[in-house]
């Protein structure tokens, strides 16, 4: 009897297990059915299409948020904290200095991610930064904190203060690495602001985009004398071309994870000259692949928001004009000549992407970035098709692009005016030296005559004044006598 009961119980247990599995599959199917996301329509992204509890994508240049989900909700940032640690380290400088790892590097929780580095080792400061970012070493982060800030506590205060300077309103750091603490928090928006500032530094971009790096330890830890070199590999799956999460536009930055923060990632991507920053926070543990998926969806949404502006489109809205000297007074445009770019120049393929409401600024930037070298003296007459000059612009990649500018129409010259010599032939005699000498003598004689005439008139006026004064004096004496 007991054997039968056990057997029956087993059957019941198996049946329940099957029902549970079927129920779970149904829930997954229902969840998939509610997800409207389609890879070929990234612009239709909704919050329901993202697994992370807080997400956003930001235009790196302007700081504009293009899409967000709970972007200002306080969250635990985990090791994405290290982007602020890296930023302060780079602002501190001294990257090539040989530093001694402080003992605080060993004072991290036992379950921390480690580079590893040990107190007393010596290495270039920049190597420590690679260890902190690629291996997410909490030990390296502590070492950076003490080297830069003097102490762990002071460095945490520096982190929070710097975040506030960048406009972060909901961020408080209590350590340099992001290991869980209830008082250690940030938001998707604040982390994007920190990443935006960091990506302005060449070295920040270089370190945060590194796929691998070899640290050189100049004074090894005594217990590990073989540690002369330490090979580091990035844990960013979006960098690895063989990985399912690979995303070609990705250029950084930092992931993080712990039980209360879930999976977190602050990313940067570039495509068609567009630079974006994304943040994904608290993707449930065990669903790390969803973090990469969220990041890709956010980035693709961001890229889909931009419009293409070709060179021809921009030039049609802001053509170049040249003022032609000596144009006919009857010219309809008063000598202003529109220049036409010749097809086929390297500038013909120039294009940029901008948000729809940035059209006017795009045109203004286009006008400001142009350089024109004139090869024509800009004097009438001008014939349609005449080469006027060369237009040059520099692309985002630093390449100088050019195209030839030609006249779009004829510009007639003003009618020639007959010289005075032709109208009055005797004036041509002035060019002869004897005539010039004679004219000079005549001019001197005239000046002398004028000078003498002035003297005569002056003397005459003086005598008249003296005679007048004498008469007045004689009249006064006569009056006195009669009186």
Q: Of these residues, 69, 82, 282, 296, which one is catalytic?
A: 82
Q: Of these residues, 69, 112, 113, 136, which one is catalytic?
A: 136
Which among 37, 6, 341, 65 has a CA at the least distance from the CA of 192?
65
Q: Of these residues, 79, 113, 208, 234, which one is catalytic?
A: 79
Length of the chain: 483
C-alpha 83/C-alpha 227 separation (Å) is 27
Sign of CA dihedral 191, 140, 157, 183: positive
Per the CB < 8 A criterion, the answer to whether 338 and 320 are in contact is yes
Tell me the helices (H) and strands (E) count for the chain, helix number first.
12, 16
Per the CB < 8 A criterion, the answer to whether 405 and 339 are in contact is yes
Which among 184, 297, 299 has a CA at the least distance from the CA of 253?
299
Beta-carbon count within 10 A of 3 CB: 7
Helix (H) or strand (E) holding 434: helix 433-482
Rg (CA), the chain: 42
C-alpha 196/C-alpha 482 separation (Å) is 112
Which among 303, 240, 243 has a CA at the least distance from the CA of 268?
303
C-alpha 312/C-alpha 67 separation (Å) is 31
The DSSP secondary-structure symbol of 238 reads G
Per the CB < 8 A criterion, the answer to whether 212 and 232 are in contact is yes
Which among 174, 95, 96, 98 has a CA at the least distance from the CA of 142?
174
Per the CB < 8 A criterion, the answer to whether 248 and 238 are in contact is no
CB-side neighbour CA atoms (13 Å) of 333: 14
C-alpha 261/C-alpha 175 separation (Å) is 15
Q: ∠ CA 234-146-117 to the nearest 5 degrees?
A: 40
C-alpha 134/C-alpha 138 separation (Å) is 11
Active site residue 271: no
Beta-carbon count within 10 A of 201 CB: 15
Per the CB < 8 A criterion, the answer to whether 320 and 405 are in contact is yes
Q: Which residues pair with 406 in a beta bridge?
A: 340, 387
Active site residue 107: no
Active site residue 136: yes
**Positions marked active-site:** 79, 82, 136
């Amino acid at each position: 009897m007991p054997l039968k009961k056990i057997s029956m119980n087993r059957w019941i247990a198996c049946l329940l297990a099957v029902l549970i599995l079927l129920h779970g599959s149904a829930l997954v199917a229902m969840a998939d059915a509610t997800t409207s996301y389609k890879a070929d329509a990234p612009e239709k992204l909704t919050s329901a299409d993202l697994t992370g509890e807080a997400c956003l994508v930001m235009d790196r240049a302007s700081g504009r948020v293009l899409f967000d989900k709970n972007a200002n909700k306080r969250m635990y940032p985990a090791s994405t904290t290290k982007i602020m640690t890296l930023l302060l380290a780079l602002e501190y400088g001294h990257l090539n200095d040989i530093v001694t790892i402080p003992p605080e590097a060993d004072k991290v929780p036992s379950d921390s991610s480690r580079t590893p580095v040990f107190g007393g080792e010596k290495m270039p400061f920049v190597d420590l930064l690679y260890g902190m970012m690629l291996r997410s070493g909490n030990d390296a982060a502590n070492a950076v904190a003490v080297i830069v800030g003097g102490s762990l506590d002071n460095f945490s205060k520096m982190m929070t203060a710097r975040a506030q300077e960048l406009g972060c309103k909901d961020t408080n750091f209590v350590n340099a690495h992001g290991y869980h603490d209830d008082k250690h928090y940030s938001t998707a928006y604040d982390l994007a602001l920190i990443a935006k500032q960091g990506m302005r530094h060449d070295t920040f971009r270089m370190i945060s985009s590194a796929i691998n790096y070899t640290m050189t330890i100049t004074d090894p830890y005594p217990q590990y004398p073989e540690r002369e070199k330490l090979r580091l590999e990035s844990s960013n799956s979006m960098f690895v071309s063989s990985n399912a999460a690979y995303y070609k536009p990705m250029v950084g930055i930092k992931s993080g994870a712990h039980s209360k923060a879930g999976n977190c990632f602050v990313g940067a991507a570039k495509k068609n000259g567009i630079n974006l920053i994304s943040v994904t926070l608290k993707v449930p543990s065990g669903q790390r692949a969803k973090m990469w998926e969220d990041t890709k969806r956010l980035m693709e949404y961001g890229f889909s928001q931009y419009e293409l502006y070709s060179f021809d489109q921009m030039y049609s809205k802001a053509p170049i004009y040249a003022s032609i000297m000596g144009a006919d007074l009857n010219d309809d445009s008063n000598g202003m000549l529109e220049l036409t770019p010749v097809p086929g120049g390297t500038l013909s393929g120039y294009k940029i992407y901008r948000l729809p409401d940035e059209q006017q600024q795009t045109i203004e930037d286009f006008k400001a970035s142009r350089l024109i070298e004139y090869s024509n003296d800009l004097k009438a007459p001008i014939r349609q098709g005449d080469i006027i000059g060369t237009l040059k612009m520099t692309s985002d990649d630093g390449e100088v692009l050019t195209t030839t500018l030609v006249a779009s129409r004829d510009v007639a010259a003003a009618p020639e005016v007959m010289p005075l010599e032709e109208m009055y032939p005797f004036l041509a005699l002035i060019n002869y030296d004897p005539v010039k000498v004679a004219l000079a003598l005549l001019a001197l004689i005239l000046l002398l005559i004028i000078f003498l005439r002035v003297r005569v008139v002056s003397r005459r006026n003086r005598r008249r004044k003296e005679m007048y004064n004498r008469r007045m004096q004689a009249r006064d004496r006569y009056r006195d006598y009669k009186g």
